Structures are given as structure tokens and as C-alpha cells.
């Protein structure tokens, strides 16, 4: 089997995912196009050598619909022979795109591929694409469908995480993200987004609130209490799957959950041979990837199981991993994972995460993989494991190694 | 045609009168379905006809729905493709007939002067125009789900297309009836007319109309409120799934199937939608819930309501005057239901003050009825006037029945029995509303034990529909007949059982809360016991129910039982828990604000008492679905096993009474059709095998008795073995 190497990773800054956000006036196509242009230009890429562009996107309707990957490759003036495919593994789509690109390279189906993702949540709101799971009684009832926020609160309740625990985690995320920006730790990956005139419109993650404190978070109302306890009453559904819970403790709110943002990312992956021939220098080796299904009602415990599955498959233990990155969908998801795997919190999400910087659904996986490529280099570490919790009860993970 | 009379007026409009022969109420039979199809054919082919108005020939209303004694009562072989296809064909017949009426090309209106329920309303929905008399007493509804079925005559498709998915789902899932004015507001009634004028209004609409198609057959038709994959429609279905799960725990297949039929049906044209409905209808009919619920909550309930257990050779006993001894909650409630039925009631207590308090309670109930608009003030006053509160036992004179509802103390009951009988005519019945004390023992105080009978009411009396009649050793058939007549007069459903400790209902019900306490003693986390208890379909969880009953009372009953049974008493793990709660901790339940739960008293929610963890250290703190389902079985099967023991001992002899009693008295999971139907419909061999495996894990109380093993071996059912006796009694 061929080795797959990561040659480069770029991402846009994340704009607030609302009409007042800086990127709301930039199309999703443009976001995807700009990261494809950037990864081409800074590597002097002959795009005709790229076999496929795989982009994650979770609401592929409207301007994000009908295979935005192929359309973005065309819009970025990639060679006509470059194929494109849009994929959806909910929140892990961006990482899954990287894993698929690597799998194509390792299997010999491709010599070079781009994995990444795009999501303009301000322009194509989450849930725009419908879906049978919550709607069709055939599956909603038997799988105890509850929205992900309820699942996060169930995790907190089941494993005894208090409001103070999750808020403290959120404060730390903000602190780490602010520190990382201050020290320019994202510099290598960030490509400012340009407007229709080619002028920069956003050059930093605008969702961050570095001045967040326990006190400021304490003022926030829980986000999922209403839909849990009253209309339509999802807590009662969760309790049918988790009867050990007397009452769901609604601890999550806007300040300790991932932010809704716009953004895009791309990761260039290829064989050693082609990279050499093209004069590219690999930055990391793709060691392995995996996905797994987990209990769908609680939804967000997949990272624990996919982490174990992948390490097992790679014959590795916790000691083989230097840096751990789990998307901060909700604070309780990270805290539960840390305790389930037995991790040192100091090695987890060292540069903050989606609570501070936001979670552009389809792109996040590729973004945080890029963050780890940068961080391995900066901190002179060997290996990182990147994972995300996934809708409908799944987890996706990847291990990379610096070269 | 046998069921429809057709008159053609001068304008060429056929006035079609639905008038099923020999019945006071129109119902839908196979013949009715066939004739609806013929009417459609006639409208289509007879060029002289311009349209039709459907009316009823009955004073009672238009139609009360399908005749469940003739339709859908056949056995379906769900295991074979041929069996399922046959079921689909059978249930599609009404849909096909109504669809041909709807697509005949000429306008069809319906003039509704009276009720249209179930299939009756579905006929109306298949007409092009509905006029209803503006009379608030008239009821329209699709109540099928209450007896395990779904609206299978197009109701799941036409109603949401007329009024929107959300209100249609509410109407069908809750089985709520609507008045004509509500129907107009919701949109399934097109026009209101003065009573008696609906035909004129319908004819006026028909005038000049030649070709008509249903609104959903027109191009560009939009579902009010939107279909599933529209922003507003999506919220409806996501919410409906959660609410259905919350309210039914997925226990009622007909409810889930209604939701599925609406969700899937709204995404396709009407013909396909009706096929989808028919498939879900057939699927519903094949399951045990439909069989059990139809039998118990429709057929048996009707039979018992007509006095099925009444000895036939006793002439009807008219209760005009009745006395109630003891004006506590129960006595006051009994006085209220008697007065409501027009019975002159004497409510007696040791003091005038106590009796007045009881009457005040009856007044409270009446006031509530008035404030909720369910009764007018004059009626409430006349009901209250029928109750005389007093401490004077001589007022009993002339009473046809006495109901004793004093404290559960043998000596006290003996005393009031003697005191009352002194004023009682020889023909009058003495009924004791005891829930625990053996009737034959109480009858020892009576000078006329043949007239002494148990009349066990349930709390709150005004809302609980069942009365458990208990025969003492010497109770006569005449007294039984009189007691049944009394119960029917106060509009309750009587079941009949024989004397035993706790009779039938209290005895079986107590095993449910007892098993909850055993689980607690085993170390099952209290939240698991409670959540799983609710998921069984019981109305309350075991520990909260224990708190409601009161732990000190349960402790007292347990001690008395132990004393009475002596060596035969089987120790339970729950005993120590109960003893500690009452004796050591002074936690008596809801009544003193602390039991298995803490009751904050400030209106905030009760919470499980954290101290339970010390009383019974938790060893089971997770409950994945397989374990959850096993616990559900524990809580339900323990009740079924006790019921089987009751049959073995002759405490109860009719499966019908056992089923109806279990659902009406203590809310035994209604989707099962009752505690006996649950066993019969799953099959006794399977039930016995499951209980044996529960016994191996959780103790000998799960061992099936010899009767169950014998029946399982012979492939019998309770209804098969005891049903013949039951029919004889009826």
C-alpha cells in the first residue's frame, strides 16, 4: 500500500454565521474557490495532476447543492480533468474528506487529491436539507431521536458534569484560542478571505470572545431546556433510552457550545513519488483513519469509540500520541472523551477549538487537521490524533505524523 | 339497496338517505361498503343525475363508524404474503368505494344533522362539500386509536389535507371529538346551517355545479400548513415524533401507524396515499394491541355496561334512595355519583360536621363542573339538593341500598352495619366499600348476610369508571343483581369477583408496587425503576405510586397479611425497605411530604430522595434496552402471574372482567388489552418460558402456577378455557 503524505493545509478565518457576519456577503462557492486557489498558488500546483477534490458539506442545497466540490474546482480554474465530489458525514465531513482523499492515494486510485470542506452557515442554515431521521416516525421513534444539544446535556447528566465544569472548559478554550492567535500559531494555514474586488474582508476568527469569564458565562440561559422539558419534550425521549437519568441537567448554552460560523478548508494529499516529482515537501504522513457508529440518541459519544478503534487498528496506545484534538461541539463531549480515554487535558485542544472559534460544519474536520499539522511543527511533536463527534451517532478520527 | 334510499328531485339531484335496516344507529358493514360503490357507479353513469346529497334516516345521527362486530374480526395470517395481501384487500374495500364516490365526476354534498364518528366522518370527508347543523351537541371525530385501530377509510389522508397535519394528528391521536362549529373553524366542515336546514344548504351548493373533483385532485393543491418537507411542516413532524414517544413510549402501534400514514401519505397523490393508509391499517389489525384493545375496550366494556354478569332471573331493581355511611373522600365521592344519577342520597357520618364536610366535597366537584362549562348551575344545584348530610341513622329508612365507606376497621364496620340494618328494609342491599377486608368476615356482623355484598369503588370516585363487586360466601344472586343494577344506574362498569384478601384488583395491583420495591432492594437505581415503570404503560411509576398509596398503610397491610397468613406468608426483599422507611425513617409517602420521593411543598417538582442510596446501595446504574425490556416484563408479568393465581383460586372467573378490571381499576397497560389478554395474545407457552427465565434470575415469585403450565401444555388460552363460562353468565 502506498503512503499518503500531507503536503499542505489551508483554511479561511471563520466568520460569524449570521447576517451580520463578515462572510455573509461572500458565497459558499467563493469560500471553497478561495481555499482551492490558495493551496494551488502557494504550492505552484499543476492542477492537472490532482485526481479528485473531495469537499465535506452538511447542507448541500441551494448554492451549496449539486456537488459544490466539482463546481468550486471549475470556478478556481483547476484543470478540467480534476473531478470533484461532495460528501456528508455531518460534523466530521471535512475530516472524512481528508480520510477519503488519503484512502484514494493509498489504494492507488489517485496520486494526488484534495480533501476539505465548506459551509456558509449564515447563507445556507443548518438543517436546510431536511432529512428523514427526525421526521420519519419509522426511524425517529425507534432510534429515540433527540437533537444534538439534548444529547450533549444527556452526556453531562449521565457522567455528572456540572454547569461549572462545562463553563470552566469553555473559558479555557477561549483563553487558548486567544493565546494561539496572539502567538500567530495559525499563521501558516490561514488565508484571508477576499471580497468581490479582491480586497481582504476577513483575516481572523471573528467568533472569539477572549474576555470570557465564569461570571460572564453564568449569565447565559441554557439553550436546550425549552425543547427538552416543554415543546416538544425531547428529555422524555432521551430518558427512554437512558432510564438511569432521573432528570436531564441542561448545562449547555451559546457560550460552551460550538459557534455557528462560515468557512472553508483544503488539505493537499499525495504520494511521495508525485510530490517529489512536483517538487513538494511533505509536512506530515497520514498514519490512519477510521469511522464508527455509536448510540444515536445520545449521539455524541462516538469519539471515544472511534479513538479506541483507530489506536487499536494502528497498534498504538495513548503514549504514541502527543497531541489530541477533538472538535468542541459541546464542552461535555470533550470532557467525557478526556475521561473515557484517560487523557491529560494539557495535551487536548491546545490551541482552543470550536467553542471559541466556531464550527463551520462541513469544513471543521479539515481545519482542525490543519491546526494539528501546524502545531506538530511548531511544538516539535511527533503525532496527533484528530477526531469529531458526528450526527446520528458516529465518530471519525485520523492520526497524522510529522515528517 | 338495503341501506340507502334514493329520491331524485326535480333538479336531478339524488337525495340519498343512509338508513340501515333494523338498527337505531347507522354503522358501516360490508353491505354498506358495497352499496356506496353502487351509488358512485350510478352517479357516474346516469346522465339524468346532476349530483347527490347524502343524509341520514336516523334520529341518532349520520353514522357511528364501522360495525366492529362484523368488520375486521377475522383472523389474519400475518406470517404469509397471501395472508397480508388478503388483509390489505379487506381493509381497502371502504377506501375503494369512497374514492370512487369522490371521483365520480358529479358533485356530492353531505348534510349532517347529527353525529359522524370514525368511518361515519370518513364518508363525509370523501364528499365534496360538508354542511353541518350548528348544534353544539353534535359530535364529529375519528376515535379509532382509542380502541387500537387507525382511521382506515381515508381519514388519515383527507383530514390533514383539509385542516393541516398538526390539527389532524391531534384529532386522530387523541381521538378527540369536535362540534360542528369547531369543525368549521378547523376546516373539515364547509358550512354551518340551522338545524333542519342542512339539506337545503347542501342543495344550494350543488346548484349549477356540473363537474367537481376533490380539492386534492386539483392541480397545484397545497396542504394547509405544508407537507412534511416544508419549514412549518418539518416542525410539526419532528415535534409529533417526540410528543408521541413522550406520551405513548411507543407502546401503541396504532398511534405510530397513524403518524406514519400521515407522514408518508402527504407526500404522494391521493390514490397512493390511500394504499399507504390501508397497509398501515392492515399492519395495525395484525398486531396484538388491536385485538386486545378492541376486545376489552370495545366489546367487553359494552357487554359489562349492559349488565353481562347480572343473574337474568331477577327483575330489575330500581334504586331510588341510597345511604352512604362515612363522609370521607370516598363516601363523599360516592354520594356525588349517586346524586348525579338522580338517586336521593343520605350521607351519614358520626357528626353533622363530618357529614357536612362530605357534602361540601361533592359541592366542590359540582362547582368545578360548572366553572368548566360542563354543567349548568341549575343542574348542579338540583344534584346537590339530592344529598342530605346528617348524623342521624334513622334517615336510612326507605333506602334501597346502603354503601358503607367508613375506616378500614373490622369493629367499626361491624358497628355501623348493625346500626344501619336497624333501619333497613329486608329487601335492601348492604354494600361495603372495603378494599382489603374479606367480605365474608364483614358479613358476620350482618343479620342478613345474603344481602351483604362488596361494592369496591376507586378513588377519585367521580373519575374512576369501575366498581369491583365482591361476593361473600352467603351473598345471594338476588343481591348481586341488585348491586349490578345500582352500579349501572350510577354509570359505572361492574366486574364481579369472589371473596379473598385484597379481592382481585388490590391484590394484583399490589404486586406492581411490590416489585418496584424489590428492585430497589436489589440495588437497581431508583430512576431506572421509575422510568422503566412508566415505559410499561402503567399510569404511574412503582415508587411514586407507593408514595401515593402511603408507605405506612402498605406496611400495615403487609403486617396484617403476615399475621393472617402465618407460615404461608412469603418474605419479600421489599419488607425490610418498607419497614425501614416507616419505622426508622418516618417516611410515609406523599402524605407527610417524604417517602421514596421528597416533596418540596413549594410547588416545585418532587425528586427521588437521595438517601435511598444508603438504604439500598445502587448496583445497577445503567439500563441499556435489553435490560430495560427485561425490567418492563418484570413489572407487567408479576401482575399477570398473580392474576393467574386468582383464576386458580376462583377469586375471578371471567377473563373479560379481569381484563376490563385491570385497565379501568389500576390502569394496567391498556395496549395489552388487559392483564389476561397480554398473556393470551403472546401465547401461554411463550409467557411461561419467559417467566421461568425471570424466576431463575429474580426469584420464585415468577414461577408460573400449575394452571398456567397446564394451559400452556395444552395450547389453551384464558379466553378459550374460561370464555364459555363467561358467555353463560352473560
DSSP annotation string for A46-94:
-GGG--EEEEE-S--SGGGTTTHHHHHHHHTT--TT-EEEEE-BTBTHH
Q: What are the tens digits of pLDDT across the range B439-488?
A: 999 999 999 999 999 999 999 999 999 999 999 999 999 999 999 999 99
DSSP B57-119: S-TTEEE--B-TTTTT-S---TTSHHHHHHHHHHHHHHHHHHHHHHTSSS-EEEEESSEEETH
Task: Judge residue B49's burial from the number of C-beta atoms within 10 Å of its C-beta, 0-12 exposed, 13-18 middle, 19 or more buried.
Answer: middle
Cβ contacts of residue B144 below 8 Å, gap of 6+?
B65, B118, B150, B151, B152, B155, B172, B175, B254
**Could you give the C-alpha distances from B314 to A316, B322, B480, B482, B483, in angstroms and in order?**
87, 20, 9, 8, 12
Whole-number mean pLDDT of chain A?
98
Residue B725: per-residue pLDDT:
59
- Which helix (H) or strand (E) is B6 found in, with range? strand B4-8
Which residues of chain B make contact with A138, given a CB cutoff of 8 A?
A: 260
Query: What are the φ/ψ torsions at residue B73 (nearest 5 degrees)?
Result: -100, -5
User: Residue B632 and residue B372: Cα distance in Å, rounded?
Assistant: 38
**Alpha-carbon gap, residue B697 to B677, rounded angstroms:** 25
Question: Phi, psi (5° rounding) for residue A115?
Answer: -115, 145
* Best mutation target, A128, A129, A137, A148, to test chain B (most B CBs within 10 A): A137
Q: Write out the H or E segment, with its range, that includes residue B534.
A: helix B526-535
Q: Does position B150 have pLDDT exceeding 90, yes or no?
A: yes
Residues in chain B within 8 Å Cβ distance of A146: 242
User: B726: pLDDT confidence band, cut at 50, 70 and 90?
Assistant: low
pLDDT in tens, A136-186: 999 999 999 999 999 999 999 999 999 999 999 999 999 999 999 999 999
The helix (H) or strand (E) run that includes residue B456 is strand B452-456
List chain A residues with CB under 8 Å of B266: none
Distance CA B548, CA B590 (A): 6
Contact residues on chain A for B526, CB-CB shorter than 8 A: 246
Task: Count CA atoms within 13 Å of residue B45 on its CB side.
Answer: 7
Average pLDDT score over chain B: 95
pLDDT of residue B560: 82
| Across B610-614, average pLDDT | 96
Would the pLDDT of B214 be above 70?
A: yes
Q: What percent of chain B has pLDDT over 90?
A: 91
Per residue in A48-101, pLDDT tens? Answer: 999 999 999 999 999 999 999 999 999 999 999 999 999 999 999 999 999 999
Gyration radius of chain B over CA positions: 28
Answer whether A146 touches B (CB < 8 Å): yes
Q: Summarize the confidence of residues B37-55 as an average pLDDT.
A: 96
Under DSSP, the state recorded for B28 is B
H helix or E strand, kind and range, residue A323 = strand A323-326
Helix, strand, coil share of chain B (percent; to 5): 55, 10, 35
Residue B263: which of A136, A231, A244 has the nearest Cβ?
A136
Residue B49 CA to residue B101 CA, distance in Å, equals 14
- pLDDT, residue B558, reads 86
Which chain A residues contact residue B249 at CB under 8 A?
A: 240
Does the beta-carbon distance from B525 to A242 stay under 8 Å? no
Mean pLDDT in residue range B154-159: 98
User: How far apart are alpha carbons B558 and B506 in whole angstroms?
Assistant: 13
Q: Which three cell numbers stand for residue B624?
A: 441499556
Interface size A-B, in CB pairs within 8 Å, comes to 88
Q: Which residue of A has its CA nearest to B258?
A: A137
A130 in contact with B at a CB cutoff of 8 Å?
yes
How near does any CA of chain B get to the CA of A229, in Å? Answer: 11
For the complex shown, is ipTM > 0.90? Answer: yes
pLDDT 10s digits, A91-101 = 999 999 999 99
Contacts for B626 with CB less than 8 Å, ≥ 6 apart: none
Average pLDDT over residues B180-197: 98
pLDDT at residue B705 tops 60 = yes
* C-alpha cell, A155: 452526556
pLDDT at B563 over 60: yes
A237 at the B interface (CB within 8 A)?
A: yes
Beta bridge partners of B401: B322, B429
d(CA A246, CA B610): 11
| Interface contact B531-A240, CB threshold 8 A | yes
Alpha carbon distance B87, B684 (integer Å): 26
Checking phi first, is residue A342 left (phi over 0); if not, alpha (psi -120 to 50) or beta? left
DSSP string, B393-428: GGGGTT-SEEEE---S-HHHHHHHHHHHHTT--TT-
* pLDDT (average), residues B161-171: 97
Residue of B nearest to A235 (CA): B246
Q: Are B214 and B151 in contact (CB under 8 A)?
A: no
CB contact under 8 A, B239 and A246: no
Mean pLDDT of B10-21: 96
* Stretch B363-370: mean pLDDT: 94
Residue range B92-121: mean pLDDT, rounded: 97
CA distance A165 to A157: 12
Residues of chain B with C-beta less than 8 angstroms from the C-beta of A301: none
pLDDT at B727 over 60: no
User: Which pairs count as long-range contacts for B326-329, CB under 8 Å and 24+ apart, including other chains?
Assistant: B326/B404, B326/B405, B326/B406, B326/B407, B326/B416, B327/B354, B327/B355, B327/B357, B327/B358, B327/B359, B327/B361, B327/B389, B328/B358, B328/B405, B328/B406, B328/B407, B329/B361, B329/B459, B329/B460
Partner B contacted by A135 (CB < 8 A)? yes
Instruction: Kindly calculate the radius of gyration of chain A based on its CA atoms and give it in whole angstroms.
Output: 20
Whose cell is 484517560? That residue is A342
Sort strands A284-293 and A4-11 into parallel, antiparallel or unpaired.
antiparallel
A57 is catalytic: no
> Stretch A319-344: mean pLDDT, rounded?
98
- Of B239, B241, B260, which has the smallest distance from its Cβ to A231's Cβ? B239
Sign of the Cα torsion A147, A152, A155, A157 reads negative
Q: What is the pLDDT of residues A102-117, one digit of tens each?
A: 999 999 999 999 999 9
> Under an 8 A CB cutoff, do B607 and A141 touch?
no
Active site residue B423: no
**How close, in Å, is residue B349 to chain A by CA atoms?**
44
Residues of B with CB under 8 A from a CB of A: 228-229, 234, 237-246, 249-250, 256, 259-260, 263-264, 525-528, 530-532, 535, 605, 607-608, 621-623, 625, 628
Q: Does residue B612 register a pLDDT over 80?
A: yes
3-state secondary structure B589-644: EHHHCECCEECCCCCCCCEECCCHHHHCCCCECCCCHHHHHHHHHHHHHHHHHHHH
Amino acid at each position: 500500500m502506498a503512503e499518503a503524505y500531507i503536503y499542505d493545509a489551508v483554511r479561511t478565518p471563520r466568520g460569524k454565521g449570521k447576517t451580520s457576519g463578515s462572510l455573509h456577503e461572500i458565497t459558499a462557492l467563493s469560500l471553497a474557490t478561495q481555499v482551492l486557489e490558495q493551496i494551488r498558488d502557494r504550492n505552484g500546483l499543476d492542477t492537472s495532476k490532482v485526481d479528485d477534490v473531495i469537499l465535506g458539506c452538511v447542507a448541500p442545497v441551494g448554492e451549496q447543492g449539486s456537488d459544490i466540490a466539482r463546481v468550486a474546482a471549475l470556478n478556481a480554474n483547476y484543470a478540467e480533468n480534476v473531478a470533484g465530489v461532495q460528501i456528508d458525514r455531518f460534523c466530521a465531513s471535512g475530516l472524512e474528506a481528508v480520510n477519503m482523499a488519503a484512502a484514494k492515494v493509498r489504494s492507488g486510485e489517485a496520486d494526488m487529491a484534495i480533501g476539505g470542506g465548506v459551509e456558509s452557515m449564515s447563507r445556507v442554515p443548518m438543517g436546510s436539507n431536511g432529512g428523514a431521521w427526525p421526521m420519519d416516525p419509522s426511524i425517529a421513534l425507534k432510534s429515540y431521536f433527540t437533537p444534538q444539544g439534548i444529547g450533549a446535556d444527556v452526556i453531562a447528566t449521565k457522567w455528572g458534569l456540572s454547569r461549572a465544569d462545562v463553563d470552566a472548559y469553555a473559558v479555557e478554550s477561549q483563553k487558548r484560542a486567544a493565546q494561539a492567535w496572539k502567538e500567530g500559531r495559525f499563521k501558516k494555514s490561514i488565508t484571508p478571505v477576499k471580497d468581490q474586488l479582491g480586497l481582504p474582508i476577513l483575516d481572523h476568527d471573528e467568533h472569539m470572545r477572549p474576555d470570557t469569564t465564569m461570571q460572564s458565562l453564568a449569565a447565559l440561559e441554557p439553550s436546550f431546556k425549552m425543547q427538552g422539558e416543554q415543546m416538544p419534550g425531547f428529555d422524555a425521549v432521551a430518558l427512554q433510552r437512558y432510564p438511569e437519568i432521573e432528570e436531564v441537567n441542561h448545562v449547555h448554552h451559546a457560550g460552551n457550545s460550538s459557534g455557528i460560523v462560515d468557512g472553508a478548508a483544503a488539505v493537499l494529499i499525495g504520494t511521495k513519488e508525485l510530490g517529489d516529482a512536483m517538487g513538494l515537501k511533505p509536512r506530515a504522513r497520514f498514519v490512519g483513519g477510521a469511522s464508527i457508529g455509536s448510540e444515536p440518541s445520545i449521539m455524541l459519544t462516538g469519539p471515544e469509540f472511534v479513538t479506541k478503534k483507530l489506536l487499536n487498528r494502528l497498534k498504538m496506545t495513548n503514549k504514541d500520541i502527543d497531541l489530541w484534538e477533538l472538535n468542541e461541539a459541546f464542552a461535555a463531549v470533550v470532557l467525557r472523551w478526556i475521561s473515557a480515554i484517560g487523557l491529560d487535558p494539557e495535551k487536548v485542544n491546545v490551541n482552543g477549538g470550536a467553542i471559541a472559534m466556531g464550527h463551520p460544519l462541513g469544513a471543521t474536520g479539515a481545519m482542525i487537521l490543519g491546526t494539528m499539522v501546524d502545531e506538530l511543527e511548531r511544538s516539535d511533536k511527533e503525532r496527533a490524533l484528530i477526531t469529531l463527534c458526528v450526527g446520528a451517532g458516529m465518530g471519525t478520527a485520523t492520526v497524522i505524523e510529522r515528517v | 339497496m338495503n341501506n340507502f334510499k334514493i329520491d331524485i328531485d326535480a333538479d336531478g339531484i339524488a337525495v340519498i338517505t343512509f338508513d340501515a335496516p333494523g338498527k337505531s344507529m347507522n354503522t358501516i358493514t360490508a353491505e354498506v361498503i358495497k352499496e356506496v360503490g353502487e351509488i358512485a357507479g350510478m352517479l357516474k353513469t346516469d346522465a339524468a343525475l346532476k349530483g347527490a346529497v347524502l343524509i341520514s334516516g336516523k334520529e341518532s345521527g349520520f353514522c357511528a363508524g364501522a360495525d366492529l362486530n362484523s368488520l375486521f374480526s377475522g383472523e389474519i395470517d400475518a406470517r404469509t404474503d397471501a395472508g397480508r395481501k388478503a388483509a390489505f384487500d379487506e381493509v381497502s374495500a371502504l377506501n375503494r368505494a369512497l374514492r370512487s364516490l369522490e371521483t365520480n365526476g358529479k358533485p356530492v354534498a353531505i348534510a349532517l344533522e347529527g353525529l359522524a364518528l370514525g368511518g361515519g366522518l370518513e364518508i363525509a370527508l370523501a364528499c365534496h362539500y360538508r354542511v353541518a347543523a350548528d348544534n353544539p351537541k353534535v359530535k364529529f371525530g375519528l376515535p379509532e386509536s382509542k380502541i387500537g385501530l387507525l382511521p382506515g377509510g381515508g381519514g388519515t389522508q383527507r383530514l390533514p389535507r383539509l385542516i393541516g397535519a398538526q390539527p389532524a394528528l391531534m384529532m386522530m391521536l387523541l381521538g378527540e371529538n369536535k362540534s360542528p362549529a369547531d369543525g368549521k373553524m378547523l376546516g373539515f366542515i364547509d358550512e354551518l346551517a340551522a338545524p333542519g336546514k342542512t339539506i337545503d344548504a347542501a342543495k344550494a351548493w350543488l346548484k349549477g355545479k356540473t363537474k367537481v373533483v376533490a380539492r386534492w385532485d386539483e392541480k397545484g393543491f397545497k396542504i394547509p400548513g405544508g407537507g412534511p418537507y416544508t419549514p412549518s411542516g418539518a416542525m410539526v413532524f419532528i415535534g409529533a415524533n417526540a410528543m408521541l414517544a413522550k406520551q405513548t413510549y411507543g407502546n401503541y402501534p396504532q398511534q405510530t401507524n397513524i403518524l406514519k400514514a400521515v407522514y408518508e401519505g402527504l407526500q404522494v397523490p391521493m390514490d397512493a396515499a390511500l394504499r399507504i393508509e390501508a397497509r398501515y391499517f392492515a399492519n395495525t389489525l395484525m398486531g396484538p394491541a388491536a385485538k386486545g384493545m378492541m376486545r376489552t375496550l370495545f366489546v367487553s366494556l359494552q357487554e359489562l355496561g349492559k349488565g353481562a354478569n347480572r343473574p337474568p332471573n331477577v327483575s330489575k331493581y330500581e334504586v331510588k334512595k341510597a345511604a352512604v355511611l362515612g363522609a370521607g373522600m370516598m363516601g363523599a365521592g360516592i354520594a356525588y355519583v349517586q346524586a348525579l344519577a338522580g338517586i336521593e342520597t343520605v350521607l351519614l357520618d358520626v357528626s353533622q360536621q363530618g357529614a357536612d364536610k362530605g357534602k361540601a366535597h361533592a359541592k366542590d366537584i359540582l362547582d368545578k363542573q360548572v366553572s368548566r362549562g360542563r354543567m349548568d348551575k341549575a343542574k348542579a344545584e338540583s344534584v346537590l339538593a339530592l344529598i342530605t348530610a346528617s348524623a342521624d341513622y334513622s334517615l336510612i329508612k326507605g333506602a334501597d341500598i346502603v354503601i358503607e365507606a367508613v375506616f378500614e376497621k373490622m369493629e367499626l364496620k361491624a358497628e355501623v352495619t348493625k346500626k344501619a340494618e336497624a333501619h333497613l328494609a329486608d329487601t335492601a342491599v348492604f354494600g361495603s366499600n372495603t378494599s382489603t377486608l374479606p367480605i365474608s368476615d364483614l358479613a358476620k356482623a350482618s343479620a342478613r348476610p345474603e344481602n351483604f355484598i362488596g361494592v369496591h369503588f376507586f378513588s377519585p370516585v367521580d373519575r374512576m369508571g369501575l366498581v369491583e363487586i365482591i361476593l361473600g360466601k352467603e351473598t345471594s344472586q338476588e343481591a348481586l343483581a341488585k348491586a349490578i343494577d345500582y352500579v349501572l344506574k350510577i354509570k359505572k362498569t361492574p366486574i364481579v369477583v369472589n371473596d379473598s384478601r385484597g379481592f382481585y384488583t388490590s391484590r394484583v395491583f399490589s404486586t406492581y408496587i411490590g416489585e418496584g420495591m424489590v428492585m430497589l432492594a436489589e440495588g437497581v437505581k431508583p430512576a431506572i425503576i421509575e422510568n422503566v415503570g412508566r415505559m410499561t404503560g402503567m399510569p404511574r411509576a412503582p415508587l411514586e405510586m407507593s408514595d401515593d398509596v402511603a408507605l405506612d398503610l402498605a406496611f400495615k397491610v403487609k403486617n396484617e397479611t403476615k399475621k393472617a397468613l402465618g407460615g404461608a406468608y412469603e418474605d419479600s426483599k421489599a419488607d425490610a425497605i418498607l419497614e425501614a422507611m416507616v419505622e426508622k425513617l418516618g417516611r410515609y409517602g406523599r402524605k407527610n411530604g417524604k417517602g421514596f420521593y421528597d416533596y418540596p411543598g413549594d410547588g416545585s417538582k418532587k425528586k427521588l430522595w437521595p438517601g435511598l442510596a444508603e438504604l439500598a446501595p445502587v448496583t445497577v446504574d445503567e439500563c441499556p434496552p435489553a435490560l430495560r425490556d427485561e425490567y418492563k416484563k418484570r413489572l407487567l408479568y408479576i401482575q399477570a402471574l398473580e392474576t393467574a393465581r386468582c383464576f386458580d383460586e376462583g377469586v375471578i372467573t371471567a377473563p373479560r372482567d379481569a381484563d376490563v378490571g385491570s385497565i379501568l381499576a389500576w390502569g394496567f397497560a391498556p395496549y395489552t388489552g388487559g392483564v389476561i389478554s397480554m398473556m393470551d395474545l403472546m401465547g401461554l407457552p411463550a409467557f411461561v418460558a419467559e417467566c421461568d427465565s425471570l424466576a431463575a434470575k429474580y426469584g420464585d415469585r415468577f414461577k408460573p402456577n400449575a394452571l398456567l403450565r397446564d394451559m400452556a401444555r395444552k395450547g389453551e388460552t384464558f379466553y378459550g378455557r374460561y370464555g364459555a363460562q363467561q358467555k353463560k353468565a352473560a
